A = this chain, B = another copy of it.
Amino acid sequence: MMALIVCVGRSIYVKRSELLLVKLTTVLSEAQRQAQTITSNQYETPKVVTHVPGPKSRALAERLGQYQNVDAVHFFVDYEKSEGNFVVDVDGNVLLDMFMQIASLPLGYNPPKLIDAMKDRKNLASFINRPALGSYPAVDFVERLERSLLAVAPPGLKHAQTAGCGTCANENGQKAIYMAYQRRLRGGRQPSEEEKMTSVMNRPPGSPKLSFLSFTNAFHGRCMGALAMSHAKWFHKLDFPVPDWPIATFPRLKYPLNEFKGENEREENRCLAEVRDLIVKYGRRGEPVAGICVEPIQSEGGDNHASPAFFQGLQAICRETGVYLMIDEVQTGCGATGKFWAHEHFSLQQPPDAVTFSKKMLTGGFYFTDALMPREAYRIYNTWIGDPSKLVLLEHVVQEIKQKKLVANAALVGQVLLNGFLELQSLYPGVLQNARGLGLLCAVDISTPAKRDNIIHRLRNKGVNIGGCGLSTLRLRPCLTISTSQAFMFLNILDSVLAEVR
């Protein structure tokens, strides 16, 4: 406790919000104190020594710019020097990382457990000899699968398929659903020669005009099938042909959710009615909806939440209409929300038909029900279909998450962050709105996109790396080992930036 109080005792933030701090300290439990020991202590605070990006980052970007577009490069990272929750850039700046490679590092930088795994000679072969996994799996593959992906499978789901990344996870999930849908239509009949031959030439009946329903502001990836379900930002989409599939409105809720219950319920029901209508409409026009894809929290699209009732309603519609439900947990999975899978917050009546993952899980892939099991060889397949060396690491990540109770830590520190956002929102009502969060997936809207970008820029130059999403949202995506004192450190720095830009 001392360390925490000393740390925040220096801050502007605590002076302004002592009441909040008192409230927060009451929730500090044994689990939380344990979490304080999660990360090593090479860096205790940020250290900014140049403008970020600094001269070395800018020089490297110019050099890289000869070969590819570098407009999205923020800065160059010294991954050897980075540690725990602190990222170190090439210019020597040490930043508290609240974004963690777009939510994709589960344990922060260079966790000792993964260093040990890499040094273990018996793991070497996995890194050097990447197999054609669907045909020549390694002797230890089943065991590794059981100790990694299957050890954290969502309740009720027993099947798991690896894939290269989140996009490929969603595209393969779509394909498993298309197969199940068509198989059900064939009612046990084997595919005909005509179906096989026409499929090869992109024509019905073998290549049927099926569609996948997605939501406004969704983001599911960048290859054609995943991109067709993504509707967050123009630069993901412009100039790219995609099929004209049904897009339902994702609920635009008012926050805090418990203050606007009635209004939000009406909004969600309106959106569910749209889903029903679109399923009927696309069925009539001969492009039936085979599946619905949805994020538990829309991330890229602006950290948009919906209630458990909404997801229960979606599942009920799926059951009634014979449409399969695929939940995209690429960003929300792996403990970030305070449960291992975000959809566990929704009390669904039965498991989703497919749950896709990537990012913190280190490998892409999806869990699926019996109905989605492919019936023929080479159907969900490509040369690599994932990378078992990632399972070697994931196995240790899963161990660490369980041993250190990192999911509970995410719930706890998430509460600190959300309370901090709420407190700051009351201090800067003209700048911050709609503080919201589930576990570590906290976000707050900024009054304008320009001010949001300005805040991100200033935060970076005061030692915090953070991301945006949606039109003008600040999004937190720290790793699972973040401590409460680091959460306060972030809130304190944010406070000082808000004081400058308000």
Contact = CB atoms under 8 A, between A and B. Distances in A.
A77 B241 contact: no
A109 B179 CA distance: 36
B69 A375 contact: yes
B238 A135 contact: no
A161 interface: yes
A499 interface: no
A276 interface: no
A72 interface: yes
A122 B80 CA distance: 8
A79 B206 CA distance: 39
Interface in A36-80: 60, 63-64, 66-69, 71-80
A158 interface: yes
Contact of A223 (B75, B145, B199, B226): B226
Contact of A175 (B69, B141, B171, B240): B240
Contacts of A197: 234
A109 B129 contact: yes
Interface in A83-114: 87, 90, 101-105, 109-111, 114
A495 B50 CA distance: 69
Contact of A158 (B66, B130, B380): B66
A362 interface: yes
A66 to B, nearest CB: 7
Given A178-B240, A200-B232, A241-B243, A68 B207 contact: no
Interface residues of A, number: 126
Interface in A356-402: 358-359, 362, 373-384, 387, 389, 393
19 contacts: A60-B139, A67-B150, A68-B159, A68-B373, A72-B381, A74-B136, A101-B136, A102-B132, A104-B383, A105-B129, A164-B164, A199-B237, A199-B238, A200-B233, A203-B244, A206-B234, A208-B239, A210-B239, A224-B226
A195 interface: yes
B201 A74 contact: no
A79 B138 contact: yes
Contact of A240 (B132, B145, B199, B228): B199
B90 A139 contact: yes
Contacts of A132: 101-102, 104
A126 interface: yes
Given A68-B159, A382-B165, A80 B137 contact: no
A213 to B, nearest CB: 12
A202 B124 contact: no
Contacts of A109: 129
B167 A222 contact: no
Nearest to A225: B224
Interface of A: 60, 63-64, 66-69, 71-80, 82, 87, 90, 101-105, 109-111, 114-115, 118-119, 122, 124-132, 134-139, 141-142, 145, 150, 158-161, 164-168, 171-172, 174-175, 178-179, 181-183, 191, 195-197, 199-203, 206-211, 221-226, 228, 231-245, 247, 358-359, 362, 373-384, 387, 389, 393
Contact of A110 (B122, B129, B168, B234): B129
Contacts of A222: 171-172, 175, 381-382
Contact of A75 (B82, B136, B161): B136
Contacts of A75: 136
A125 B80 contact: yes
B138 A77 contact: yes
Contacts of A69: 373-377, 379-380
A175 B138 CA distance: 35
A324 to B, nearest CB: 13
Nearest to A181: B239
The 3 A-B pairs with the shortest beta carbon distances in the complex, nearest first, are: A71-B377, A224-B225, A196-B234
